[in-house]
Structure 1
């Protein structure tokens, strides 16, 4: 474990229960159904046990989408991107994508098939507990939710301090979806009656109920530590540790609160992305509007964004301590633009107002100079926010070694030796001179590298 690692992560792996601090909902149900965009849904790609595969080859060429955003979070859809960029040649980049998984995302859990039905008639339970000892989170998938008027379901952790409410969707076809994850090794699903059944509709409720067909179980700390050896890497590489260049000098973000308050404040704008229930990347708010940026190899479509949880404020409450702040979780919404060569995806989130308070970052329109000091806020291996690159003499190798490094295109990247791990894909690389983003991290291998911020600024200006 790296220096000053949050002890709560270790506890979560050992006991399956993270210590929450400052619970925002006081145990009350929060959240509603997340309305789907008008887009074809994609199959879950991380399910080896279920045998549902997805082509691991990244899509090529740039794309801008014009899919209809969710009604609960309207955004203005920019015009379709007309620029074209040649996709990278197969094999032209030999360094491993940071996340290390076959599809470029860090695996942080597994999918399990279950068959649980909650209903109204005798013999059917109204409450079901899903417990997986040691799991870091539990996430339920509904294949059906059909309820009487006024009734609803909740998914909560064991003690009810994290709870989400779901009403039946108007269209029954929309009930095939994921619930928000709950942290810890237990999820409690319960059907609640909203009002007395004065009309006697319960007699007609034989065909109603809630079906759960899959559960995503987050890996324990021990299981997560074994993942690099099982994930795809380039020949001769051993895994994500290749990206820790020398000894790991990254630290919990909170460790910077007093010594480097600017870096600490900037780190608030990043988010942990839980994709399809079992895979991970990092993303961050770019600009003042409802805009998030991550890598193209993390996801490329609105249907994938829709199944992505975006966790803000997932960080340790005390340097090296045991408490973790309860994250603010929102759903991804619409992909606005994506590009394979420059490895970016720009997207929006649902319930944007709830995450505005965490601030935003800005892309630097200038290429950084060689030797310029950097810092990288990130979620390596899914851990609470960490920052690589200390202030002053301890900055070490976290500086620009090549401002025109070859990525998927000639001279498209900035190279550096800042410490990163699997799950850091999509992290912002900030200049200490400007506190702006000079690179979008995407490659490990020592040196690590990210797509140049000035190139991204030019391509994304119309959307920001």
Structure 2
């Protein structure tokens, strides 16, 4: 969330207004107490995609969408993006998202492995369902970008499907669209007092 009623996500998740019209954003899907699992989410925490402001999804390149929700989210604050400078190779990262449809997961201990003009590559531990997840600088807490693509999640072995486990530098890594690619949209909504 980059403003009370504006969400940033992966462009390949929302490529048209028609896709927007059929999309819902769910907030608050998380484990509240150890040993419990969420069984439902209040309808007040479900938001409709009202307007697709911008979407781009270039294979192997830029990938993001900016969306206006049907109403402001009142109980959560917009995230703080990096507003100056650029991230460097070796900086620590963490991702917060919903891999494979699970409740909120936080995965840290990753680093920036490489930088490209539109995205960074990191050894983040993510799955399908994490697309559009915020990727944070673990030192500053600033959003550095959004997860957009990565390694094959599952492999088949002896007739079973299992997680594709990569050593820290054993696979290429996950791609994160850099927040600087979205800056024009951040400044459009800064006047709302979000950050």
Q: Do these two structures clear the TM 0.5 threshold for a shared fold by scoring above it? A: yes
What residue is the counterpart of 2:26 in the other structure? Answer: 311
CA–CA distance in structure 1, aligned partners of residues 179 and 17 of structure 2: 24
TM-superposed deviation, 1:333: 0.4
CA–CA distance in structure 1, aligned partners of residues 48 and 130 of structure 2: 20
Aligned residues: 163
What residue is the counterpart of 2:65 in the other structure? Answer: 345
What residue is the counterpart of 1:369 in the other structure? Answer: 88
In the alignment, is the contact (CA less than 8 A) between 1:317 and 1:325 conserved in 2?
A: no
Q: Which has the higher strand share?
A: 2
**In the superposition, relative to structure 1, how do residues 444 and 332 fare at CA in structure 2: closer, same or farther (>3 Å)?**
same
Quick one: which of 149, 153, 175 aligns to 1:449? 175
TM-superposed deviation, 1:291: 0.7
Quick one: which of 396, 415, 433 aligns to 2:139? 433
Quick one: which of 125, 132, 136 aligns to 1:419? 125
Query: Mind listing any 5+ residue stretches in structure 1 that lack a counterpart?
Result: 1-284, 390-394, 406-410
In the alignment, is the contact (CA less than 8 A) between 2:12 and 2:56 conserved in 1?
A: no
What residue is the counterpart of 1:333 in the other structure? Answer: 50
What residue is the counterpart of 1:124 in the other structure? Answer: none
**In the superposition, relative to structure 1, how do residues 401 and 289 fare at CA in structure 2: closer, same or farther (>3 Å)?**
same
Query: Mind listing any 5+ residue stretches in structure 2 that lack a counterpart?
Result: 152-170, 190-195
Task: Name the TM-score, length of structure 2 as normaliser.
Answer: 0.76
Task: Name the TM-score, length of structure 1 as normaliser.
Answer: 0.33
CA–CA distance in structure 1, aligned partners of residues 82 and 26 of structure 2: 25
In the alignment, is the contact (CA less than 8 A) between 1:363 and 1:438 conserved in 2?
A: yes
Quick one: which of 352, 356, 360 aligns to 2:74? 356
In the alignment, is the contact (CA less than 8 A) between 1:430 and 1:438 conserved in 2?
A: yes
What residue is the counterpart of 2:106 in the other structure? Answer: 387
CA–CA distance in structure 2, aligned partners of residues 340 and 329 of structure 1: 25
Q: Matched residue of 1:420: which SS?
A: coil
TM-superposed deviation, 1:418: 1.3
What residue is the counterpart of 1:460 in the other structure? Answer: 185
* Structure 2 counterparts to residues 2-401 of structure 1, below 5 A: 285-286=1-2, 288-324=3-39, 326-327=41-42, 328-341=45-58, 342-352=62-72, 355-365=73-83, 366-389=85-108, 395=109, 398-401=110-113
In the alignment, is the contact (CA less than 8 A) between 1:316 and 1:324 conserved in 2?
A: no
Q: Matched residue of 2:20: which SS?
A: helix
CA–CA distance in structure 1, aligned partners of residues 176 and 34 of structure 2: 28
Q: Matched residue of 1:303: which SS?
A: helix
What residue is the counterpart of 2:164 in the other structure? Answer: none
Listed one character per residue, the Cα deviations across residues 273-309 of structure 1 (whole Å, up to 9, x for unaligned) are xxxxxxxxxxxx11x3421111110112223212111
TM-superposed deviation, 1:426: 0.6
TM-superposed deviation, 1:382: 0.8
CA–CA distance in structure 2, aligned partners of residues 461 and 311 of structure 1: 22
CA–CA distance in structure 1, aligned partners of residues 71 and 105 of structure 2: 25
CA–CA distance in structure 2, aligned partners of residues 295 and 450 of structure 1: 10
TM-superposed deviation, 1:323: 4.3
In the alignment, is the contact (CA less than 8 A) between 1:367 and 1:453 conserved in 2?
A: no
